[in-house]
């Protein structure tokens, strides 16, 4: 639909100009909320629970209140507002009970940060400590204590979610396709296993930070490091019953989000502190430690898969059970459950499928969106499982995958028909297999093995993901022409580092046929001045905002042509334009410059016509439906981005230490708007995926206290952790309804890195890994057939802990 991508005529799309936000970021001029201050601004601090589950018996703030310079103190009883994206289950400050370690129980605003810290230390809280429910599988047991006994009384989005009152189940998503029992009856082989991974922290380099000012008349100003200004505004208004016109949200540069800054987080608390402090602006920035447990993380997952395969290697049936650890609040975890539930089978054709995906409350820091929205977690199990199935039936894992991949005409789990335009997962898989020379060891690799006494193995894994978003997700764009004929583009999509500002500028320049230096897309976002966009999440920005931008450019040109037609006494249909002027096609010298019509045209005698040129475009996800709650059937996917990774790994067969020699990644991006931006997403996402694969994860003691909320104890990858060789491969099967054929690839590079590594380690050593991350000791354990680490709840902070039988 939107502008065919004829490579002959494209002038901006497919090039890699420098990012438009780079100059301010390399010089330190770029302003983030953490850099901002206002006259009279107070500093906030939070009193946090040291217990995972406890009744609050008494809170005494009197000593804190007597400290000079303390301007506001709040406890849960002061605030009668409840928050929740989908299930409204969270108080701004814990009221009678704390549900996770690190939960906020009181907050202070004071003249200085030091004073606020002192005041928080002076607040006394008496708790009655209760035994916590930490393991999400234990929380499912009949008679387990309830994290939310009032679940049945909470508001929730009824069209989409299904909480189960009287249990710890915040949501159950079902998907049914065909007849899974009949399929198993026809199967020659049935393979069943369980795969697990712990909670993980996003680690944006800028922690969550908010400045809020609650002014008279319930008018609220919010400056926040968030992904989605309009969602912050609208959820804030919902919680406080305020009209949107009362609340103004501004977002300058954002120091990383990765999903952790989607939705709404510290904004309501900080605004309430400001109100209590008489309307002075209040700033709260999470410490790095608070980022781990006051703010949310990525959910842990237990994924059980049972696969039935026919004699010829085709999958005939698959039963999938997902158990997502929501932690103490439902937040995004219920929607991660939904989106993962309908994607759970991966890019494979499964004629008979059965999915039950549970979101389970526990007494741990709660889960939220994280790059990949569940797919990083469940693809760990799914793509390890495909490997195991292939081994079991004696087929090469690559061949087994190729045999079962979706193809045009295939139906997804929800009944959506795959077409030739959906994207080419086969080409991605073949490209990475060729890149790593799958299935053989080169002479150099053999020599290396012999020389070092190490084992080299190769593995592949596929991935897919569609944007997880409401069926009516909408966006809008305004393109304003400046007096010199250049344009300024306003979008509600936030620049969180992904580079959308630059890609959108290229799209506008291409559509307008302007040089790139005549297009500027604003970086700072402002709900009062920018047009609506739902959220900056889900890898949906390029398609939705890109399309709205094309329509806005079209609108601007139509208005410019109309005005030029009057100025030139020509019909609009006879006009054409270049980067400078609009001219009569059959008489090109008869022209008017954009700068002459930008603010309205003036005839030689001084008469003015028209007025400033502004183009408006809006776009909404089309053709999507809610899913049937019993069968999961419906159309949830705006588009699918496919991809694959291939990994060559070297493993020490004695110690389990391993090192990645090469990783090749391929994604079908539809059309590469800016290849270097894509390469940045591919490598950045892949390395973040390596963090998940190699070392990251929350470790708790048996009381539910988080033991590793720091970079010393929760490592993330550094320059020294890079694979020796990295290849990023771009596949371009155009998205028919994408701008110039493009589709999103922001989240996808993080997905399936871990199973590709697990599969390569299996190929090298035979180690069957079912838990990630894959640390050296995990490989050693698997090689020696020791029981795997079942959860990351430990008596000692070393990660070795209680185990359960394998393969139940």
- Give the interface with other proteins as residue ranges (CB under 8 A): 16, 18-19, 21-32, 34-35, 202-207, 253-258, 287-288, 427, 431, 496-499, 666, 672, 675-677, 679-680, 683-688, 710-712, 716-720, 722, 725-732
Q: Beta-carbon neighbour count of residue 592 at 10 Å?
A: 22
Strand order in the sheet with 282-285: 70-75, 104-110, 42-48, 282-285, 209-215, 219-224, 247-251, 525-526
How does DSSP assign 608-641, residue by residue? EEEEE-EEEEEEE--S--PPPTTT--S---S--E
Least distance in Å: CB of 18 to other proteins? 5
Collapsing DSSP to helix, strand or coil, 5 comes out as coil
Least distance in Å: CB of 63 to other proteins? 22
How does DSSP assign 709-764, residue by residue? -STTTS----GGG--SEEEEEEE----TTSGGG----SSGGGTTHHHHHHHHHHHH
Closest to 693 (Cα-Cα) out of 803, 778, 799:
778
Least distance in Å: CB of 526 to other proteins? 19
Q: From CA 385, how far away is CA 656, in angstroms rounded?
A: 21
Buried b vs exposed e over 325-358: b needs ≥16 C-beta within 10 Å?
bbbbbbbbbbbbbbbbbbbbbbbbbbbbbbbbbb
Least distance in Å: CB of 19 to other proteins? 6
769 φ/ψ angles, rounded to the nearest 5 degrees? -90, 130
Closest to 645 (Cα-Cα) out of 748, 743, 761, 734:
748
Collapsing DSSP to helix, strand or coil, 521 comes out as strand
User: And the tokens for 796?
Assistant: 């000692």
Q: From CA 633, how far away is CA 27, in angstroms rounded?
A: 51
Q: Which is nearer to other proteins, 610 or 643 (CB)?
A: 643
Q: Which is nearer to other proteins, 209 or 621 (CB)?
A: 209
Q: Which is nearer to other proteins, 502 or 770 (CB)?
A: 502
Least distance in Å: CB of 30 to other proteins? 5
Give helix 375-393 / helix 397-404 axis angle, nearest 10°: 110
Q: From CA 687, how far away is CA 492, in angstroms rounded?
A: 28
Q: Which is nearer to other proteins, 254 or 564 (CB)?
A: 254
Q: Which is nearer to other proteins, 294 or 624 (CB)?
A: 294
Q: Which is nearer to other proteins, 113 or 130 (CB)?
A: 113
Least distance in Å: CB of 36 to other proteins? 9
Q: Which is nearer to other proteins, 31 or 141 (CB)?
A: 31
Residue 136 contacts residue 302 (beta carbons within 8 Å): yes
Residue 33 contacts residue 224 (beta carbons within 8 Å): yes
Q: Which is nearer to other proteins, 687 or 789 (CB)?
A: 687
Q: Tell me the sheet residues that pair with 593.
A: 581
Residue 596 CA from chain centroid, whole number: 44
Least distance in Å: CB of 494 to other proteins? 11
Q: Which is nearer to other proteins, 550 or 753 (CB)?
A: 753
Q: Which is nearer to other proteins, 372 or 685 (CB)?
A: 685
Peptide bond into 773 cis (omega under 30): yes
Q: Is 648 left (phi over 0), alpha (psi -120 to 50) or beta?
A: beta
Q: Which is nearer to other proteins, 122 or 730 (CB)?
A: 730
381 φ/ψ angles, rounded to the nearest 5 degrees? -70, -45
Q: From CA 382, how far away is CA 387, in angstroms rounded?
A: 9
């Amino acid at each position: 639909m939107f502008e065919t991508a004829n490579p002959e005529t494209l002038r901006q799309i497919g090039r890699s100009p420098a990012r438009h936000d780079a100059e301010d970021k390399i010089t330190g001029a770029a302003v983030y909320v953490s850099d901002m201050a206002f006259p009279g601004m107070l500093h906030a601090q939070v009193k946090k629970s040291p217990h995972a589950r406890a009744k609050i018996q008494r809170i005494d703030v009197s000593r804190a209140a007597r400290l000079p310079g303390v301007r506001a103190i709040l406890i849960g009883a002061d605030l009668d507002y409840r928050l929740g994206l989908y299930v409204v289950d969270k108080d701004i400050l814990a009221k009678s009970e704390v549900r996770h370690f690190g939960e906020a129980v009181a907050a202070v605003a004071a003249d200085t940060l030091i004073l606020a810290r002192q005041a928080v230390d002076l607040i006394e809280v008496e708790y009655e400590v209760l035994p916590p429910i930490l393991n999400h599988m234990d929380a499912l047991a009949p008679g387990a204590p309830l994290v939310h006994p009032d679940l049945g009384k909470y508001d929730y989005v009824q069209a989409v979610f299904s909480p189960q009152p009287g249990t710890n189940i915040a949501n159950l998503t079902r998907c049914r396709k065909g007849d899974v029992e009949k399929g198993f009856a026809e199967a020659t082989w049935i393979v069943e296993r369980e795969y697990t991974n712990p909670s993980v922290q996003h680690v944006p380099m800028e922690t969550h930070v908010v400045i809020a000012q609650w002014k008279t008349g319930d008018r609220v100003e919010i400056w926040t490091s968030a992904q989605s200004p309009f969602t912050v505004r609208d959820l804030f208004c919902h919680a406080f019953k305020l009209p949107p016109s009362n609340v103004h949200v501004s977002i300058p540069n954002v120091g990383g989000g990765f999903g952790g800054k989607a939705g709404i987080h510290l904004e309501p608390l900080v605004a309430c502190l400001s109100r209590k402090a008489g309307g002075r602006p209040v700033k709260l920035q999470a410490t790095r430690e608070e980022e781990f447990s006051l703010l949310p993380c990525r959910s842990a997952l237990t994924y059980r898969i049972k696969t039935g395969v026919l004699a010829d290697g085709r999958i005939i049936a698959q039963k999938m059970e997902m158990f997502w650890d929501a932690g103490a609040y439902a937040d995004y975890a219920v929607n991660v459950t939904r989106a993962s539930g309908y994607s759970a089978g991966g890019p494979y054709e499964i004629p008979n499928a059965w999915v039950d995906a549970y979101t389970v409350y526990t007494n741990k820091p709660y889960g939220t969106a994280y790059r990949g929205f569940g797919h990083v977690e469940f693809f760990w199990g799914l793509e390890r499982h495909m490997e195991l199935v292939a081994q079991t039936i004696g087929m090469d894992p690559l061949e087994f995958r190729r045999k079962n991949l979706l193809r045009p005409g295939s139906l997804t789990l929800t009944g959506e028909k795959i077409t030739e335009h959906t994207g080419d997962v086969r080409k991605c898989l073949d490209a990475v297999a060729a890149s790593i020379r799958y299935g053989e060891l080169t002479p150099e690799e053999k020599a290396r093995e012999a020389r070092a006494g190490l084992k080299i193995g190769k593995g592949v894994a596929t991935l897919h993901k569609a944007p997880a978003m409401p069926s009516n997700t909408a966006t809008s764009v305004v393109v304003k022409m400046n007096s010199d004929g250049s344009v300024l583009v306003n979008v509600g999509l936030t620049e969180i580092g992904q580079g959308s500002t630059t890609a959108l500028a290229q799209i506008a320049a291409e559509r307008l046929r302007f040089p790139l230096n005549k297009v500027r897309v604003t970086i700072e976002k402002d709900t009062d001045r920018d047009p609506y966009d739902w959220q900056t999440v889900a890898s949906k920005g390029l398609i939705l905002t890109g399309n709205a931008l094309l329509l806005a450019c079209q609108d601007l040109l139509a208005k410019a042509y109309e005005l030029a037609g009057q100025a030139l006494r020509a019909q609009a249909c006879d006009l054409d334009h270049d980067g400078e002027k609009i001219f009569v096609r059959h008489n090109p010298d008869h022209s008017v410059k954009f700068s002459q019509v930008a603010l309205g045209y003036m005839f030689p005698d001084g008469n003015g016509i028209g007025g400033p040129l502004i183009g408006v475009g809006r776009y909404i996800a089309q053709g999507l439906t809610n899913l049937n709650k019993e069968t999961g059937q419906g159309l949830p996917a705006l588009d699918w981005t496919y991809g694959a990774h291939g990994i060559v790994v070297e493993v020490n067969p004695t110690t389990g230490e391993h090192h990645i020699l090469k990783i090749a990644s391929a994604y079908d991006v539809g059309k590469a708007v800016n290849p270097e931006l894509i390469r940045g997403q591919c490598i950045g996402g892949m390395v973040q995926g390596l963090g998940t694969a190699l070392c990251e994860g929350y470790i708790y003691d048996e009381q539910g206290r988080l033991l590793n909320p720091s970079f010393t104890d929760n490592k993330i990858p550094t320059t020294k952790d890079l694979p020796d060789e990295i290849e990023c491969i771009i596949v371009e099967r155009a998205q028919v309804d994408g701008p110039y054929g493009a589709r999103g690839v922001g989240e996808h590079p993080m997905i399936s890195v871990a199973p590709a590594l697990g599969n390569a380690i299996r190929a090298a050593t035979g180690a069957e890994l079912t838990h990630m991350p894959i640390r050296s000791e995990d490989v050693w354990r698997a090689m020696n057939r020791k029981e795997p680490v079942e959860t990351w709840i430990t008596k000692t902070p070393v990660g070795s802990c209680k185990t359960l039988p394998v393969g139940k």
